[in-house]
Chain A
Amino acid sequence: GAVVSQHPSRVICKSGTSVKIECRSLDFQATTMFWYRQFPKQSLMLMATSNEGSKATYEQGVEKDKFLINHASLTLSTLTVTSAHPEDSSFYICSATNRRDLNTEAFFGQGTRLTVV
């Protein structure tokens, strides 16, 4: 299957700082990317959907000014957690698909474990 790479896999940051997570599609053009957050023993929660070259669509309850998403190219999307606090500690996962087609599978990155201290 297609490869989606996330970086970093783990990050520890101080409260109040910002953290950027990168999501790259390595062997296909990702027209749509999804960002998820997963707390321990819970399912993945969709945070936002981004289409290349346009603004991300955020799910209800997700602060767009806190979780900045950029999808400027067909192979890269970034999620920046601004002014991180301990409650932002979570497992963040991206997913990418190569067209806006319900008959196309999305592939997932390996996730980023964020710990805010």
Chain B
Amino acid sequence: DAKTTQPTSMDCAEGRAANLPCNHSTISGNEYVYWYRQIHSQGPQYIIHGLKNNETNEMASLIITEDRKSSTLILPHATLRDTAVYYCIVRVDQGGSEKLVFGKGTKLTVNP
């Protein structure tokens, strides 16, 4: 089972920041938070990941709370092409073998 919960859907205006929340209250100390997105009928695309510090790359920023029980993905200037399902994933270490288990994700719709 996925260790994350996300809102089912969100809307955002083009050009504005999109803030996608994720709860992962059972995360363990060595487990990373990953964000991927999936545009219809394509494979998921990696966005960003982090452990406890905030991270930023050319696509997005990741803000992780100090207790690590939740995080927020920020797309600073959303475009229509950012419309996708966004998945927040905790990469799980299970007895030396790691898994990438997807939850239901958030369907982000960027409106003109």
Contact = CB atoms under 8 A, between A and B. Distances in A.
A10 to B, nearest CB: 10
A91 B98 CA distance: 23
A6 B41 CA distance: 14
- Mostly helix, strand, loop or mixed at chain A's interface? strand
Interface string A46-67: 1001010000010000000000
Interface stretch (A69-77, A79-87, A104-112): A104-112
A82 B43 CA distance: 23
Contact of B99 (A46, A101, A103): A46
Nearest to A99: B98
A4 B87 CA distance: 19
A87 to B, nearest CB: 20
B103 A43 contact: yes
Contacts, number: 63
B44 A44 contact: yes
Nearest to A57: B97
A102 to B, nearest CB: 5
B104 interface: yes
A57 B43 CA distance: 22
Contacts of A101: 98
Interface of B: 30-32, 34, 36, 38, 41-46, 49, 51, 87, 91, 93, 96-105
Q: Which 6 A-B pairs have the closest CB atoms?
A: A108-B43, A44-B102, A108-B44, A43-B102, A110-B43, A105-B46
Interface of A: 1, 4, 6, 32, 34, 36, 43-46, 49, 51, 57, 91, 93, 95, 100-103, 105-111, 113
23 contacts: A1-B46, A32-B98, A43-B87, A43-B104, A44-B38, A45-B102, A46-B99, A46-B100, A46-B101, A46-B102, A49-B97, A49-B98, A102-B30, A102-B31, A102-B32, A102-B93, A103-B32, A105-B46, A106-B46, A108-B36, A108-B44, A109-B43, A110-B43
